[in-house]
Structure 1
Amino acid sequence: MDAKSLLEPMCSWAWWRTWVLILLGCSIMGAGFVLFINPYNFVPGGVYGMGIVLHNIFPSVQVGTFGYMFDVPLMLTALWIFGGHFGTRTVVAAFYTPGFMNILTRLVYPDQAAVESLDPALLLNGHLDLSNDLLLTCIMGAVWVGIGQGLVVRQQATTGGTDIVGMLLQKFCGIKFSTGIFLADGFVVMSGLAVIGFGLGTGEASSNGWMLTLYSLLMIYASSRVVAYMLDGASYDKLLFIISDHHDPLKKFIIEELDRSATYIKSKGMYTDTVRDMIFLVVSRKEVRQVQHKIKEIDPRAFVVVTDAYETFGEGFKQFPEKNEIQAE
């Protein structure tokens, strides 16, 4: 293989796009932690959630630095299980994110004492203090983290931490990726309750420790839903079973107006014993109403069942996933 062929993948738009999206996703996630999570002692799971817990015990060590401490063994696991190509992306993401968080933290706080206290009143000189709007802060943090994680995972990488745990649970235990993250993060949240809520290891229990724990659980759930949205889309496709005596106009509508195809399935009425063709049709959610109106126009006496098609693969829908590709559900 010559030098030119080795350089071609690095010069392609897809290669650059992948790495830009990975770094962008890591930056969005890191900013979400620094601006909306760390200052308010939310513990949304993951290595950075555990970093927040440990920062309360060792305030001189930044949250991102704890991220490095936890990510190294998990990254080695990812390299071993998922291969070098996947591992390279994970290593870059996992090393970039904590460093970005540490740098941004020093930029948004005025001095070292503020960096150690993470007092939201000092965040951007008090211009972003949301202490009186914790629910809003929780939701904003969840959205930022979910979008960031989703961008990274779509590129077949992770930000390290419980992302890798979620992938391992999906690969070896058949547990959904987002559910695996939720379970792993639950342990971290309970650690936050013990340290921040009850003061274990710090001697200073938070007066609203239980509320912070509930907000943290809400944040984990909301961010996992955002990740699922980023990976699988906003809604499922819809599956229609249509029984009608007017097949020709329905066929013309499906092929010419919807620009789709469908399948005839032989069906037999239980009461009449009449054998008829039933139309099996998959459409996007936004097309369901159009199909319903057209069926009513063509055959008001038609019998139609509409149900969710959780995933649809093939021409006009999703491409079949690659081996070991991450899926949210």
Structure 2
Amino acid sequence: MFRKLIEDASTWHWWREWMLIFLGCIMMGTAFVFFINPYKFVPGGVYGLGIVLHNIFPSIQVGTFGYMLDVPLMIVALLVFGGQFGARTVAAALFTPGYMNLLTRAVYPNEAAVESLDPALLLNGQLNLSDDLLLTAIMGAVIIGVGQGIVVRQQATTGGTDIVAMLLQKFAGIKFSTGILLADGAVVLAGLLVIGFGLGTGEAGEKGWVLTLYSLITIFTTSRVIAYVLDGASYDKLLFINSDHHDELRRFIIEDLDRSATYIKARGMYTGNEREMIFLVISRKEVRQVQHKIKEIDPRAFLVVTDAYDTFGEGFKPFPSADVMQAE
């Protein structure tokens, strides 16, 4: 009975991971079709490069370019990250551009509209956000970031610069989100040359360089959302407490907060006197309580409160495994 429960739980975990991978891919593909491709934003990645190439070869869909660019990178992922990771990468990278192509044909009325990607024709003009480009860029970036983060949390990737960023993190120690930002910069530059200045098309956009600025906003927002989805927001605070009332503060920290702290030996620069400073990490919601208690115990205490970017250990987050992708 117990063994069967374990097997059922393992099976459910496997299915859940795959469902989340496809959910993330669907979110990404939908965001590109509705908020990115029609407005010629170039948010990096193989699909951003696909948008650039689609402007040169409009008969080829953005998703199709995704296939053409992803295959070499998927081969690298298979070789570097192993069979299980490679299988997930291949599934996500093959599903996303195909879904984008199918959705694009479903929301545009005809082949000419698919080639032009005119937002005025998207859903028969029901979702034309041409007058709200900033809102469009942010909405697309947030949805892409959430979807991409969900996929990467399952130790997969949608291909493209995801793989480039993961290679940079693995071999060069560069942050995952920073790697994406760097790799995508080259794609944005290509978008500026093609869409902004008409290189390869002979038709420079009236405000193509403005679209490049929106693309940069999209990339930055996406990278921040990915980091949030992967690592979460840090709500911990780091406190340094300098006081002569250690016994009362010790009782408060251990008994009331149900936490521990560390004494750090310190010496006053002006007086030269040696004393012990309390080093304490708490959640953000506990800061006000600690401030009031310190004021009650020792109004002359010296307190410094700063952000703890990441906190690992007992009572906080577990240490990440070596093979778990970290955004920062």
Q: Normalised by the size of structure 2, how large is the TM-score?
A: 0.93
The 5-angstrom pairing of residues 36-47 of structure 1 reads: 36-47=35-46
1:3-42 equivalences in 2 (<5 Å): 8=7, 11-42=10-41
Alignment partners' CA distance in 2, 1:8 and 1:66: 41
* 1:304 corresponds to: 303
Aligned partners of 2:234 and 2:308 also within 8 Å: no
What is the distance in 2 between the residues matched to 1:243 and 1:131? 57
Asked whether 1:214 is paired with 2:196, we answer: no
For the pair 1:288 / 2:282, whether they are aligned, the reply is no
Paired with 1:151 and 1:266, the residues of 2 have a C-alpha distance of 44
CA distance in 2, matches of 1:302, 1:235: 26
Cα distance between partner residues in 1 of 2:319 and 2:286: 22
Secondary structure of the 2:41 match is coil
1:265 aligns with 2:264: yes
1:315 is paired with a residue whose SS is coil
Contact 1:238 1:306 in 2 (8 A): yes
Output aligned runs, 1:45-84, within 5 Å.
45-84=44-83
In structure 2, the gaps of 5 or more residues are none
Give CA-to-partner distance per residue, 1:135-176, whole Å, 9 cap, x none.
Answer: 111111111111111111112211110011111111111211
Distance 1:252 1:21 in 2: 45
Contact between 2:234 and 2:310, CA under 8 Å: does it hold in 1? no
1:117 and 2:112 are equivalent in the alignment: no
Q: Structure 1's 305 and 192: CA in aligned 2 closer, same or farther, altered over 3 A?
A: same
Q: Take 1:249 and 1:82, find their aligned partners in 2: how far apart are those partners?
A: 53
- Of 211-220 and 231-240, more deviation after overlay is shown by 231-240
Give distance in 2, aligned partners of 1:31 and 1:140: 11
Question: Following TM superposition, where does structure 1 have runs of at least 4 consecutive aligned residues deviating by more than 6 angstroms?
Answer: none
Deviations 1:280-321 (A, max 9, x none): 111123322222222112211111122222221111212111
| 1:208-236 Cα shifts (integer Å, max 9, x gaps) | 11101111111111111111111122235
In the alignment, which residue of structure 1 is the partner of 2:92? 93
Given that residues 10 and 16 in structure 1 are in contact (C-alpha distance below 8 angstroms), is that contact kept between their aligned partners in structure 2? Answer: no
Structure 1: 5+ residue stretches without partners: none
Greater Cα offset, 255-264 or 299-308:
255-264
- Structure 2 counterpart of 1:161, which letter? G
Q: Distance in 2 between matches of 1:174 and 1:120?
A: 41
Does residue 228 (structure 1) correspond to residue 262 (structure 2)? The answer is no
- C-alpha displacement of 1:11: 4.8
- Do 1:197 and 1:206's aligned partners in 2 also have CA atoms closer than 8 Å? yes
Is the contact made by 2:52 and 2:194 (CA closer than 8 Å) also made in structure 1? yes
Q: Deviations over 1:104-145 (max 9, x none)?
A: 111111122211111101111111000011111111111111
1:31 CA drift (Å): 0.7
TM-score by length of 1: 0.93
Partner of 1:255: 254
- Mean CA deviation greater in 274-283 or 152-161: 274-283
Letter in 2 for 1:265: I
Question: What percent of counterpart residues are identical?
Answer: 75
Amino acid at match of 1:146: G
Question: For 1:66, what is the secondary structure of its paired residue?
Answer: helix
1:127 counterpart residue number: 126
Range with greater deviation from structure 2 (149-158 or 259-268): 259-268
Cα distance in 2 between the residues matched to 1:252 and 1:20: 48
> Which amino acid in structure 1 is aligned with residue 323 of structure 2?
N
Aligned residue number for residue 239 of structure 1: 238
Alignment of 1:181 with 2:183, yes or no, is no
